[in-house]
A and B are shown apart, each in its own frame.
Chain A
Amino acid sequence: MSDVLAVTEHRRGELRDVSHELITAGRQLADATGGDLHLAVISGNVEEYAEKLDRRGVTEIHTVDYGEEFNHDVYVQAIEALYDAIGPQYVIAPNTVNGLDYAPAVAQRLDLPLVTDAVDVRVDDGLSVTREFYAGKTEGDVDVAGEGALVTIRPGEWPGAEGVGDAVVDAFDIEVDEGAVRSTVTGYQEVGAGDVDISEADVLVSVGRGIEEEENIALIEELADAMGATVSSSRPIVDNGWLPQDRQVGQSGKKVTPDVYIAIGISGAVQHVAGMKGSDTIIAINNDPSAPIFDIADYGIVDDLFDVVPALTEEFGG
């Protein structure tokens, strides 16, 4: 019992990047335990996915050809069956919206300790998982007692695995208990496009909860006007209805890669950073020096945005 089982992810016909990152994280764990790395590919075009997932370090790829799209009831049953067949020590899954829709249920059913959102893993005496606490302001190690564990890994923390592998592909048959499938995916819907496409902008002035009130958004619009930039935002601004949904940057919003991204009153939560870390130059204006946004910013001002923003607007003749 020293193997690792990694559950890969796909959506609407595409493997998601995190699947290749899971191979890297899984290999890291398997090297530490001296075991093999198994992948699970569940639903959809499993053969095509298996081929793409055959990267260096993968021992065996188990395909479960059942259904097209993600359904957590099917995933739970398939992972349980694979767990019984393979007997891995550790199971890893992506810390994504779908990963978090099955991993806790799998952990509960298999009676495995669960640690989510890992940014690093280590095996010494037992498993130790590094993750963040207090909204990214601190980081800690969580020790897991006992033999096995289920860990979800944060997307973007491990590099995607490369190289061509020589994994064995195993078409894994399971009897899905249809009676236990009590939810049905009936379709998908994309968030409607508005008049502005923030992912096309060269310069984004992005506003977060630090702006405090709807009226104050005008300060940001004035700055953006003076600079010839486009306004975007973090999630709470959109949740509050202060800006339309298509202005939201982040995991559930848009991915942007402007030349310059100015984050104003944005703390830099992982789901926000996921959408803007590819920007060429990142500038943060925030009065909290411990805000995680400063970890990824190139330039910063630690000060009250209500002082800095009007002064900056003035500099640009606004």
Chain B
Amino acid sequence: MKILVTVTEVAEADDEFEIDGLSIDERYLTYDLNEWDNYAVEEAVQIGEEHDDVEVVTATVGPERAEETIRQALAKGADRAVRVWDDQLADATMIDAATKARLLAAVAEEEDPDLVLAGVQSNDVAFGATGVALAAELGFEWAAVVNQLDLDRDAGVANVHRELEGGVEELTEVELPAVLTIQTGINEPRYASLRGIRQAQSKPLDVHAPADLGVELGESTLSLTSLEEPETESNVTLFEGSAEETASELAEFLKEQGVGA
């Protein structure tokens, strides 16, 4: 059995940052494994630990820098990785979910997985769309926002809980092959062991251009045309001073409201 996990690196902005054109200035960005993908990798690795015939492969659309993130996934137990990138992708102001889905589908077609796990959303662009778009592209069944997963391999189904709003979960039976988008909290992601980190360095990480996979990218249908800090409608009153001073001012205010009385 093969499980493909889509893994993306996300950019996080520092507390203080500057916008440079259509992006946050590189100096104020740090990159990390997307939180949701961390749970997806863990889920796949745990399935691999339960059965001895499971191969876990990660797929990433991203620049060379993303290999650091990919190695994190390998260190946590994924077996191999595939990365897709080229100059045209690098030049885009924004890579829409459909394009990512086409590229990831091309990888999936080569790998022929039984199950694909994606994250619910990537924390920086937060389209929340790539997993389901990928399923449609592949003609796989799918389920979005899964916070519990039981595979019934004999029956060829995944029994999942989909986390809806307001503390309600939907229980759904999904035919395999399927793409599931994984929600945080579904498991307890491990920290990579030193041994895992060492082993990750020698695990295969193949790099392809879209053309190698037979994908010809057209003009992007989406383009980012502006980026700014939102003008807040905020009328927050900030307490200023040392921690003792601000705590005392806040306490005074709260006591006026009847708190702690």
Task: List residues of A whose CB falls within 8 A of some B CB.
Answer: 11-12, 70, 72-73, 95-98, 100-105, 107-109, 113-117, 128, 132-146, 182-191, 203, 226-229, 235-236, 238-241, 245, 251-255, 259-260, 281, 283-284, 287-290, 294-304, 307-308, 311-312, 314-316
Contact = CB atoms under 8 A, between A and B. Distances in A.
A300 to B, nearest CB: 5
6 contacts: A98-B164, A135-B124, A137-B17, A140-B228, A298-B236, A311-B244
B188 interface: yes
Given A108-B101, A290-B229, A300-B238, A260 B257 contact: yes
B232 interface: yes
Given A135-B12, A140-B22, A236-B184, A108 B141 contact: no
A102 B11 CA distance: 27
Nearest to B131: A104
A298 B237 contact: yes
Contacts of B206: none
Given A295-B230, A301-B238, A183 B24 contact: no
Given A104-B136, A235-B184, A260 B254 contact: yes
Contact of B172 (A104, A186, A228, A241): A186
Nearest to B126: A117
Interface string B163-196: 1111111111111000000001100100000000
Interface residues of B, number: 85
Contacts of A108: 98, 101, 133, 136-137
Interface stretch (B69-77, B209-217, B219-227): B219-227
Interface stretch (B55-63, B82-90, B142-150): B142-150
Given A100-B132, A116-B129, A290-B16, A142 B239 contact: no
A185 B228 contact: no
Nearest to B175: A182
B227 A229 contact: no
A170 B246 CA distance: 61
Contacts of B13: 134-135, 137-138, 290
Enumerate the 4 nearest inter-chain pairs by beta-carbon distance, A residue then B residue, closest first: A315-B251, A311-B247, A307-B243, A239-B185
Contact of A301 (B170, B175, B246): B246
B254 A227 contact: yes
Contacts of A287: 15
A259 B257 contact: yes
A20 B208 CA distance: 46
Given A188-B171, A260-B254, A97 B144 contact: yes
A79 to B, nearest CB: 12
A113 B133 CA distance: 11
Do most interface residues of chain A lie in helix, strand or loop, or is the interface mixed? Answer: mixed
Given A100-B145, A105-B133, A134 B11 contact: yes
A227 B246 contact: no
Contacts of B19: 138
B78 interface: no
Nearest to A291: B15
Given A191-B169, A289-B15, A315-B248, A138 B101 contact: no
Nearest to A70: B170
A205 B19 CA distance: 34
Given A97-B165, A138-B228, A189-B171, A115 B185 contact: no
A104 B185 contact: no
Interface of B: 11-13, 15-17, 19, 22, 24, 94, 96-98, 101, 123-133, 135-137, 141-145, 161-175, 184-185, 188, 219-230, 232-239, 243-244, 246-248, 250-251, 253-254, 257-261
Q: Which of A70, A95, A132, A290 has the most CB of B within 10 A?
A: A290
A90 B236 CA distance: 37
Contact of A101 (B15, B144, B232): B144
A199 to B, nearest CB: 11
A186 B159 CA distance: 10
B182 to A, nearest CB: 12
A299 B221 contact: no
Contacts of A297: 234, 236
Contacts of A245: 167
B118 to A, nearest CB: 11
B133 A107 contact: yes
A101 B142 CA distance: 8
B222 A191 contact: no
Contacts of A312: 247, 250-251
Contacts of B143: 101, 183
Contacts of B128: 95, 100, 116-117
A229 B251 CA distance: 13
A107 B98 contact: yes
Nearest to A317: B260
Contacts of B185: 235, 238-239
A316 B255 CA distance: 9
Contact of A295 (B127, B135, B162, B234): B234
Contacts of A252: 163-167
A191 B136 CA distance: 30
